[in-house]
């Protein structure tokens, strides 16, 4: 398997939203939210975007406080996390404003219920003028919409959706070193319920199966492992399907 980021539709949406935030007019809000069910590739897409934009990436934790979050941001900026919260905010704002690097906060669900934490991020956004992008699970948007001063600054809402068959084809073509026929790929896509993580696992199983049998291509008639073999191998059990969901990207004034 080739390890690379494939430009599936969710990645394209994230790229479009980030470009809108980076190129926004002066005075326009510059915060964004990436959210959706687990396994849809949010963190992978965010990592790709961080690398592309030279962003500052921080992962929030259940134990995060304003002090610990600010300390994590400073460490990512190669600075010692010292001083009061106000002093740390000032240093972060200065460094971000000087570099223009966007700030990414993964696992932002841990911050959504804390007014102090969300207001701290709002201050960093307002004072540095760089994009601040939050990444969280489905449901975070309902929490943040009640934080009016923060949600009013969220100019891009990107809800990740399940991969469609076209995305699955792009993943197979871009990652597999054997040819996966449409009929077998359709079975994998159906039983993965469009979850990119499970599609990737399944493609890895298919490639291993084909290589073990010296096959350069593999179709549904070749596959003898059953549908559960896409995820667990050896017929040891069936992975539960994920309910289907929907998604869209909305500019300021709407939610995805």
Q: What pLDDT shows up at residue 119? A: 94
- Of 255, 44, 254, residue with least CA distance to 139: 255
Residue 226's pLDDT band (cuts 50, 70, 90): confident
Cα 174 from Cα 179, distance rounded (Å): 10
Residue 186 lies in a domain: yes
> Mind listing the pLDDT tens digit for each residue in 18-29?
999 999 998 899
- Is the domain of 91 the same as that of 188? no
Q: What pLDDT shows up at residue 15? A: 93
CB 123 within 8 A of CB 92: no
Residues 6+ apart with CB under 8 A from 162: 40, 193, 194, 195, 242, 244, 245
Q: Which residue has the higher pLDDT, 240 or 97?
A: 97
- Is the domain of 133 the same as that of 148? yes
Residue 227's pLDDT band (cuts 50, 70, 90): confident
CATH no. for residue 22? 3.40.50.300
- Is the domain of 51 the same as that of 115? yes
Q: Give 243: exposed, middle or buried? Use CB within 10 Å, 0-12, 13-18, 19+.
A: exposed
When divided into structural domains, the chain yields a total of 2
Residue 2's pLDDT band (cuts 50, 70, 90): confident
- Is the domain of 40 the same as that of 154? yes
Residue 254 lies in a domain: no
Q: What is the signed CA dihedral for 250, 143, 65, 54, rounded to 10 degrees?
A: -10
Report the alpha-carbon angle 193-229-175, nearest 5: 70
3-state secondary structure (DSSP) of residue 253: coil
Q: What pLDDT shows up at residue 55? A: 96
Is the confidence at residue 247, as pLDDT, over 70? no
Of 136, 160, 184, which marks where a domain is finished? 160
- Is the domain of 135 the same as that of 69? yes
Residue 225 lies in a domain: yes
CB 206 within 8 A of CB 168: no
The secondary structure of residue 177, as a DSSP letter, is S
Residue 244 lies in a domain: no
Cα 237 from Cα 76, distance rounded (Å): 42
Is the confidence at residue 205, as pLDDT, over 50? yes
| Domain that residue 199 falls in | 165-230
- Of 131, 117, 145, 121, residue with least CA distance to 28: 131
- Is the domain of 138 the same as that of 171? no
Residue 87 lies in a domain: yes
Share of the chain above pLDDT 70, in %: 91
pTM: 0.83
CB 189 within 8 A of CB 199: yes
- Is the domain of 139 the same as that of 192? no
**Beta strands at 154-159 and 249-251: parallel, antiparallel or unpaired:** antiparallel
- Is the domain of 182 the same as that of 151? no
Share of the chain above pLDDT 90, in %: 79
Q: What pLDDT shows up at residue 236? A: 44
- Is the domain of 99 the same as that of 24? yes
Q: What pLDDT shows up at residue 25? A: 92
Of 160, 184, 219, which marks where a domain is finished? 160
User: What does the pLDDT average to over 87-98?
Assistant: 97
- Is the domain of 19 the same as that of 141? yes
Mean pLDDT rounded to a whole number for the chain: 89
- Is the domain of 143 the same as that of 170? no
Q: What pLDDT shows up at residue 240? A: 47
Is the confidence at residue 185, as pLDDT, over 50? yes
Residue 233's pLDDT band (cuts 50, 70, 90): low
Largest CA distance in the chain: 65
- Is the domain of 139 the same as that of 88? yes
Residue 255 lies in a domain: no
Residue 240 lies in a domain: no
Residue 202 lies in a domain: yes
Of 160, 194, 216, which marks where a domain is finished? 160
């Amino acid at each position: 398997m080739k390890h690379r980021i494939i430009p599936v539709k969710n990645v394209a949406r994230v790229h479009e939203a980030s470009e809108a935030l980076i190129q926004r007019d002066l005075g326009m809000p510059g915060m964004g939210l990436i959210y959706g069910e687990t396994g849809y590739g949010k963190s992978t897409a965010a990592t790709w975007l961080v690398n592309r934009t030279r962003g500052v990436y921080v992962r929030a934790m259940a134990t995060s406080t304003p002090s610990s979050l600010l300390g994590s941001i400073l460490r990512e900026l190669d600075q010692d996390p010292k001083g009061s919260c106000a002093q740390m905010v000032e240093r972060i704002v200065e460094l971000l404003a000087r570099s223009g690097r966007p700030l990414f906060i993964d696992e932002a669900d841990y911050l959504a219920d804390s007014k102090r934490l969300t207001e701290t991020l709002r201050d960093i956004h307002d004072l540095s003028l760089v994009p601040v992008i939050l990444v969280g699970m489905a449901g975070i948007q309902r929490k943040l919409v009640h934080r009016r001063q923060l949600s009013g600054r969220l100019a891009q809402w990107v809800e990740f959706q399940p991969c469609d068959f076209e995305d699955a084809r792009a993943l197979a073509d871009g990652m597999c070193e054997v040819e996966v026929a449409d009929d077998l790929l359709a079975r994998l896509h159906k039983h993965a319920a469009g979850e990119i993580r499970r599609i990737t696992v399944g493609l890895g199983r298919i490639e291993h199966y084909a290589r073990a049998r010296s096959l350069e291509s593999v179709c549904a008639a070749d596959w003898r492992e059953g549908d559960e073999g896409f995820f667990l191998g050896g017929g040891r059990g069936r992975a539960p399907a994920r309910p289907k969901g929907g998604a869209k990207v909305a500019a300021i004034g709407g939610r995805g």
